[in-house]
Structure 1
Amino acid sequence: MTETTTQGAGGTDLAAAYRWAPLTEADVPAWADLVNHLARVDGTEEFLGEEELQEELTFSGFTPATDSIAVWDGDVMVAYAKVGVPVTPDHEGSGRGYVEGGVREEHRRRGLGTRLMDLLEPRAAELVAERHPGRTAYLRAGGGLQGSSASAMLERRGYAVVRWFNLLERPLGDVPEVPEVEGVSFVVPQPEHEEPVRVAHNEAFRDHWGSGPSAPEPWHDHWTTRAARQDVSTLAVSEDGEVLAYVLCGEYQPRELYVNLVGTVPQARGRGIAAAALLTTIAAASRSGAYDTIQLDVDSDSITGATRLYERVGFGPKLSMMSMQRPLPL
């Protein structure tokens, strides 16, 4: 990514005032410092460790040299942005691109966020056109909490709030009773479950807003990530070995377990399987002594009644964040 002279707020020459370059493996410590700074000052709690960010640079379909930019003030990373475009369309048949990033608090209101979007939105649009030619398409970005500076900037660029997601949390320590479900076994995921769970996930999320089928390569990236905690994840399996439901967890901050994915295939809903799988994970995490809390995000408008399910097993609301979207072409 070449540097481009541009004027920021107050007439600042952003190219002269800062160094602009793609993210590299050597940048991971500074990138982690910035990401966790943003999680603190913006109140999103989206903390990530160096290992997780290093893995992101190698994920399928992402090319750091063209799909990311870091902005430096000396040896401090003060802003970054990156884009990603799944190889599959969403379940409505639309192409989708994702933009993420942020600006260190003391460097805001200088035009850095706007300039990053000027540079990377066209790259996201280009990838969407390459991977989903002829389809309707959109770009999506996280708007953070109500009233965030990010949401204001995105709104000026044509994004609108399309959904709210609630972060729910439950304390650990108690070992809840897990109800039996006739004909269903609850097991810890094994390597041989990777593909059956992907197939089940694609079926389970077919009616979930904004989602699309997971292709094998990105699914493998997430299944094998170092943050995954398979020992406290749970699969619900039928007598003939079919995956009916799943609870897949990771650990991104010490002693905090996060549920990355939870779902039930449509034909198995209404039997209490998801609740029993969640309670199995909660019990395993409590018995391990390794975690103080368990968290998950849920679509506030989920048609499956997921929020009620989570509340029944002890989760309560912690914060809400918006998802924002704009149509393509730019």
Structure 2
Amino acid sequence: MPVEQNFLWRPMAVSDGAAMADLLNAIDAEDHVWGQYTEQDAAEELDSPVDDLPTSTLAVFDGATMLGFSAVHYKPTAEIIHRVQATGAVRPTHRRRGLGTKLMQHGRATAEALHAMHHPTLQLLVESIYGEHVSGAVALYRAAGMTATEWARHMRHPLGTAIPEAPIPEGLRVEGYTAETDEEFRAVRNETVQDEVGRSQLSLEEWKVWAVNANFRPELSFLLRDIETGTAAGVLLVVSWEAETAATGIRDAYFRVIATRPAYEKRGAAEVLISHTLTEAQDQGYGRASLRVDADSSSKELRVYENAGFVTQDTQVHYCLEL
């Protein structure tokens, strides 16, 4: 069906937090892809200091109701490959009317424009991520020339008796997150992805939007330290969405960051942080824990999480287009 002519098309604004949250929640109720949002959650994402909404977003409205959106996020610190993320979706009641196609076209054109502005000498890779079970989205990505290149598992842990024991190795200690150790958390995360092509370092501004935002749970975030050298051996950072708790009745501790320095991997740094955090989540009244990980069954991270008691809930696909 053709796109209706009386709809309003315009860039998003921070003041659209309520309309965006309503849209995202309607989409999640149908697709089960990202959880529930509050108006504050949506406004915080829109207020990112990294994104310029007038140049990177487009939304379609029927009166005050947001029917769909497109948002493109470039990477300020990209090297070799500039992996631009194009996100977007359409309200379930208004699908198959051409809205998704128009929003997809905006995403590609905007990705190319932002790439030319910020990283014209690098290779451009436009990426979109969505649940593999949503057939309409799969068809839209394929029609746009995008191909599935990676799969990621959404895994959950039931807590309770499923929490494994992982004694802290001699010479290491677990510390809770503090404002003073925040930079160590970011540094360990950035160091662990520096050799992965296409994954970028997070600037301080990006870190505040992505990790230590309103949903960040410092009381459930921990650092493993080498007592002798003072080195941060690994970190685990948790966020939890109140809107998701309200919708499901379950407090979920989402492991946003799990990162360990290579020298400490064989000493069980990840296992210690996971076990400690799961125990703390249980003690603090959380109903479950969750995370996302590469779906490759041969990955060592997946084995660590499965051994810790995490079970795959669903799978998301990374669709990419090289330009």
- CA separation of 1:234 and 1:303: change in aligned 2, threshold 3 A: farther
- Structure 2 unaligned runs (5+)? 246-250
- CA separation of 1:320 and 1:162: change in aligned 2, threshold 3 A: same
In structure 1, the residue matched to 2:39 is: 50
Q: Distance in 1 between matches of 2:210 and 2:124?
A: 25
In structure 2, the residue matched to 1:211 is: 199
In structure 1, the residue matched to 2:239 is: 250
Whether 2:79 is the aligned partner of 1:114: answer: no
Structure 1 residue 198: deviation in Å? Answer: 1.6
What are the within-5 Å matches in structure 2 for residues 40-119 of structure 1?
40-90=29-79, 93-119=80-106
Aligned residues of 1:143 and 1:323 also touching (Cα < 8 A): yes
- Structure 1 unaligned runs (5+)? 1-8
In structure 1, the residue matched to 2:318 is: 323
- CA separation of 1:36 and 1:147: change in aligned 2, threshold 3 A: closer
Percent identity between the two aligned chains:
29
Q: CA RMSD in A?
A: 1.8
Where 1:308 maps in the other structure, the secondary structure is helix
Letter in 1 for 2:184: P
Structure 1 stretch displaced more, 70-79 or 201-210: 201-210
Aligned residues of 1:188 and 1:230 also touching (Cα < 8 A): yes
Q: Distance in 1 between matches of 2:96 and 2:84?
A: 26
Q: Distance in 1 between matches of 2:149 and 2:35?
A: 20
Q: Distance in 2 between matches of 1:210 and 1:109?
A: 33
In structure 2, the residue matched to 1:149 is: 136
Q: Deviations over 1:99-143 (max 9, x none)?
A: 111111111111001111222321121111222121111100013
Structure 1 residue 48: deviation in Å? Answer: 2.7
Structure 1 residue 217: deviation in Å? Answer: 2.0
Letter in 2 for 1:77: M
Structure 1 residue 200: deviation in Å? Answer: 1.2
Q: Distance in 2 between matches of 1:210 and 1:143?
A: 19
Q: Distance in 1 between matches of 2:98 and 2:83?
A: 26
Where 1:30 maps in the other structure, the secondary structure is helix
Q: Give aligned pairs, total.
A: 314
In structure 2, the residue matched to 1:227 is: 215
Aligned residues of 2:165 and 2:275 also touching (Cα < 8 A): yes
Q: Deviations over 1:59-92 (max 9, x none)?
A: 13201122112211122211111110011115xx
User: TM-score, normalization: structure 2?
Assistant: 0.92
Structure 1 residue 250: deviation in Å? Answer: 0.3
Letter in 1 for 2:189: H
Structure 1 residue 159: deviation in Å? Answer: 0.5
Q: Distance in 2 between matches of 1:169 and 1:205?
A: 23
Whether 2:306 is the aligned partner of 1:311: answer: yes
Q: Distance in 2 between matches of 1:310 and 1:207?
A: 22
Structure 1 residue 208: deviation in Å? Answer: 4.2
Aligned residues of 1:200 and 1:265 also touching (Cα < 8 A): yes
In structure 2, the residue matched to 1:202 is: 190
Aligned residues of 2:33 and 2:130 also touching (Cα < 8 A): no
Where 1:161 maps in the other structure, the secondary structure is strand
Structure 1 residue 223: deviation in Å? Answer: 4.0
In structure 1, the residue matched to 2:14 is: 25
Q: Which of these residues, 238, 256, 259, is aligned with residue 255 of structure 2?
A: 259
Q: Deviations over 1:266-291 (max 9, x none)?
A: 121111110110111101111111x1
Aligned residues of 2:3 and 2:98 also touching (Cα < 8 A): no
Q: Which of these residues, 264, 274, 278, is aligned with residue 270 of structure 2?
A: 274
Letter in 2 for 1:137: L
Aligned residues of 1:52 and 1:225 also touching (Cα < 8 A): no
Q: Distance in 1 between matches of 2:29 and 2:15?
A: 23
- CA separation of 1:13 and 1:303: change in aligned 2, threshold 3 A: closer
Structure 1 stretch displaced more, 60-69 or 97-106: 60-69
Aligned residues of 1:20 and 1:69 also touching (Cα < 8 A): yes
Whether 2:286 is the aligned partner of 1:299: answer: no
Letter in 2 for 1:300: A
Where 1:270 maps in the other structure, the secondary structure is helix
Q: Distance in 1 between matches of 2:177 and 2:102?
A: 44
